[in-house]
Structure 1
């Protein structure tokens, strides 16, 4: 899929007055409403399985927070099948994995102003040990540092079923959003995904019904 095709999925940029962009604004508003009861500074976006629209949701949500003037960070934590660098048409030479493996410093692993007020941290170089990296103390330390630098952090995580990656990332986040695709997600799979997040006290904010 071409970079231009992926970029069109960012309707908050390409077509901000569309009903699709307005749906993402509603999601942003609902998360802000949930923040009244608990602080939601780091929000994880996941799905039960691939192809349900979690990356598109994460990207648009990050753009919309940036449009509020929030200093926003979008992290591609899908180390197995990253895609956000294509959405914003940036290189993925350095990113999250490079910081965690101490091959790069934080400043070299982020791309500032991919959109006004929005910084992107891509997944970085491929790794044979994604779960181990995401479960490391260095990842926990990195997330603690990033909390101090940004107003809001959106994390695009892998799908919840099949690997433990999302659960590991969720323990570093304040709340989780599960994306399910109409006509593609089975009820049992969605329930299982929620149960896995609940098991690590991930604080599931709600479910986004896509398509």
Structure 2
């Protein structure tokens, strides 16, 4: 009798998510250390994580990280990865600011994505309000929810997402719009299941004209067929009117202001301008953390 091997689809392969295997995969535990843990576990009837802790081979933070991985909630420890520390959702997932980001995520799901498609723009009232910080961390928390998430840096004047995510490629959004690159410019962020980032690309002399081209709309439409959530980071409203071209295509914007810094009159003025171009103001965020 011949044994016929039938390929199994990737989504049907059961991953080994035991604490021991995850600690080994992360390099937190050596094979020799794992043997010591297994012996103590058998002798004392302990759970693997408790045995590893009692031997001093791992830390409580190591255990908390692998438990998060078991529940498909990845995050990074300090010093792990090469991303900016601005990614608090990645490095400090149990802090008040990340709880606020998760609450914001819930509000966006209920107030926008449930009825208006997959795309939203993040627009700062003025430079320094932290719209790029909010956009980046929102992208992380949506990916932690299990959503296939694309973050687009459409700030073609002073882009920041390539620095936050340590993107090495030079091509990005502007290059796709002018036909000098294709969707291969989108970078999958390996540390976070389901998170991809499209950097701004080459800084053009005519950002507003580029963002008004049909190629930008076509890109968003194409991405909407591949991703559950698309977050578009824009330049702040006091820098240029670029945000108008973007928000007109996303249909909605989350306005970011700086707590105790941005004047209410400016928030109201930006909200009015967004509504005048036929888009919705999904909400406003008073950023106090960045």
TM score, norm. by length of structure 2: 0.68
Q: 2:187 aligns with which of 111, 131, 146?
A: 111
Normalising by the residue count of structure 1, what TM-score does the alignment of the two structures yield?
0.93
Larger of the two Rg values belongs to structure: 2
In 2, the alpha carbon distance for the partners of 1:36 and 1:171 equals 16
1:70 aligns with 2:147: yes
> What aligned pairs does 1:95-106 form with structure 2 within 5 A after superposition?
95-106=172-183
Q: Give the corresponding residue for 2:225.
A: 148
Residue 270 of structure 2 is matched in structure 1 by 193
* TM-aligned CA deviation for residue 35 of structure 1: 3.4
Where do residues 1-211 of structure 1 align in structure 2 (5 Å cutoff)? 7-35=84-112, 38-107=115-184, 109-114=185-190, 115-211=192-288
- In the aligned structure 2, how far is the partner of 1:101 from the partner of 1:36? 29
Deviation at 1:60, TM superposition (A): 0.6
SS of 2:285's partner is strand
SS at match of 2:175: helix
Deviation of 1:162 after TM superposition, in Å, equals 4.0
When structure 1 is superposed on structure 2, of 161-170 and 41-50 the one drifting more is 161-170
* Contact 2:127-2:239 within 8 A present in 1 as well: no
Shift in CA distance, 36/162, structure 1 to aligned 2, threshold 3 Å = closer
Question: Retained in 2: the 8 A contact 1:92–1:125?
Answer: no
Q: Secondary structure at the match of 2:179?
A: coil
**1:5 deviation in Å?**
10
Q: Runs in 1 of length 4+ with deviation above 6 angstroms?
A: none
Shift of 1:113: 2.4
| Residues 152, 230 of structure 2: 8 Å contact kept | yes
**Matched residue of 1:138: which SS?**
helix
Determine if contact 2:127/2:238 at 8 Å carries over to the other structure. no
Q: Are the structure 2 counterparts of residues 190 and 92 from structure 1 closer, same or farther at C-alpha, using a change threshold of 3 Å?
A: farther
Tell me how far apart the structure 1 counterparts of residues 237 and 181 of structure 2 sit (CA, whole Å).
28
Secondary structure of the corresponding residue to residue 38 of structure 1 = helix
CA RMSD of aligned residues (A): 1.7
Would you say the 8 A contact 2:159–2:200 is kept in 1? yes
Distance in 2, matches of 1:38 and 1:91, equals: 36
Give 1 or 2: higher strand fraction: 1
Q: What is the DSSP-based 3-state SS (H/G/I as helix, E as strand, rest coil) of the residue aligned with 1:7?
A: coil
The size of the alignment, in residue pairs, is 207
Structure with higher RCO (Cα < 8 A, 6+ apart): 1
